[in-house]
Amino acid sequence: MKVVIIGAQWGDEGKGKIVDYLAEKAKYVVRYAGGPNAGHTIVVDGKQFALHQVPSGILYPEKQVFLGAGMVIDPEALFNELAMLKENGINWEGRVFISDRAHIILPRYRQMDKDRDASRKRPIGTTGRGIGIGYSEKAQRDGLRLADLDWKEKMAEYDGEDKAYLDTYKDRLLSMRVDLTAKMWEFRSDDILFEGAQGAMLDIDSGTYPYVSSGASCAAGAATGCGIGPHDLDKILGVFKAYETRVGNGPMPSEFNDTSEGELCQYVRDRGREYGVTTGRARRCGYLDLVALRYACRVNSLDGLVLTHLDIYDDMDQIEACVAYDINGKIVTDFPANVEAMNAAKPVLEKFSGWKTSLKNCKTYNDLPKNARAYIEYIEDFTKTPVDIVSVGYERDETVIRKDPWKK
């Protein structure tokens, strides 16, 4: 069984926890996109781990994890992350592998990334981790892959600080390299979990371009970034929060109004810990955008949804969700590509009764309060996609499984 986990919003949906939870039954976990700009937070027995490049399945001692061909790897950040894991009792040696087709980020890419964004008339709000430069070099066919580290002619192109940096990490990186396509064929009968980064609405093609990431954060990226074909993917699940968040610039039609909804925004931000794992920046917050979620379901052929952070609403009398856009007086129910239209969009809201009780101890779907179930079932009907998993807290056991993702 091959299961893909993607973010169904603008990233930060709680993929880290869900991948960690589902990895228990997977034999291997493969990350297929992004780089050190991603931040996946996992809480195990009250202890928090912040991962950026290492796949979330690493916390299980027997799992092997792979960094895919669709990733851009920052060696310094990667080995710092691995050192952090070791300091916290996670023995990663012999369990972390890197596709020989993955690209490498050089230190100077970080400043280049910041400078490029600062020079834009409409800055993207990049994390400044060199991701955009890494993917640009790749697209221009000037990038450096892990496989190239022992290609003498290619390595002769680098000198000075670049050469010194690569010499520092070369042997360690090469000791971890694998032919990922060969591995995927070798493991074709095993259960594999494919972990996305960022979210569907940040995908370079189907996201809110140009305010997107530079990689393939869509479901199709699991195939292109992992050395397998789309027919070999059995199930695609999209993770989304009970509300909306976004980091950086770009349209977000359901964003809370700072003037009239500032108190609600701060409540959601504080309760949901909506501060970037990578940057520490406060995330923009808003009502759940069902128009955008339905679009993500359609463009990624989602088989099921995973709802997280539902417990954030436990104390609220009433919650609301965006079911359409009002764009210059016209009601729009499909997700537009035009940025100007998106910036003009105002959310059309649907009201739902709150449940005024803690969800923490709910273990089955029927344990959830009636009003919580009504909210979920409205989402399912609107998106025409079932909600297979509901997360009601940060810990592994605070997860309600409605449909086993490892069964076809």
Question: What pLDDT sits at residue 316?
Answer: 94
Q: Which of 360, 370, 350 is nearest to 391 (CA)?
A: 360
* Residue 122 scores a pLDDT above 90: no
Q: Which positions are catalytic?
A: 12, 40
* Residue 280 scores a pLDDT above 80: no
Q: What is the pTM of this model?
A: 0.93
Confidence of residue 321 (pLDDT cuts 50, 70, 90): very high
Largest CA distance in the chain: 66
Rounded to the nearest 10°, the torsion over CA 76, 79, 81, 87 is -140
**% of the chain exceeding 70 in pLDDT:** 99
- Token readout for 176 is 């971890």
- Token readout for 24 is 């228990």
Q: Per residue in 162-207, pLDDT tens? A: 999 999 999 999 999 999 999 999 999 999 999 999 999 999 999 9
First to last CA, the chain: 8
- Are the beta carbons of 270 and 42 closer than 8 angstroms? no
Question: What pLDDT sits at residue 279?
Answer: 66
Q: Is 90 helix (H, G, I), strand (E, B) or coil?
A: coil
Higher pLDDT, 125 or 135: 135
* Residue 49 scores a pLDDT above 90: no
Rounded-to-integer distance, Cα 31 and Cα 225, Å:
8
Rounded-to-integer distance, Cα 320 and Cα 297, Å:
20
- 202 Cβ contact list (under 8 Å, min separation 6): 7, 10, 11, 208, 212, 213, 217
How many residues make up the chain in this entry? 408
- Strand 177-178 and strand 387-391: the pairing is unpaired
- Are the beta carbons of 82 and 96 closer than 8 angstroms? yes
* Residue 295 scores a pLDDT above 90: yes
Q: Per residue in 366-379, pLDDT tens? A: 999 999 999 999 99
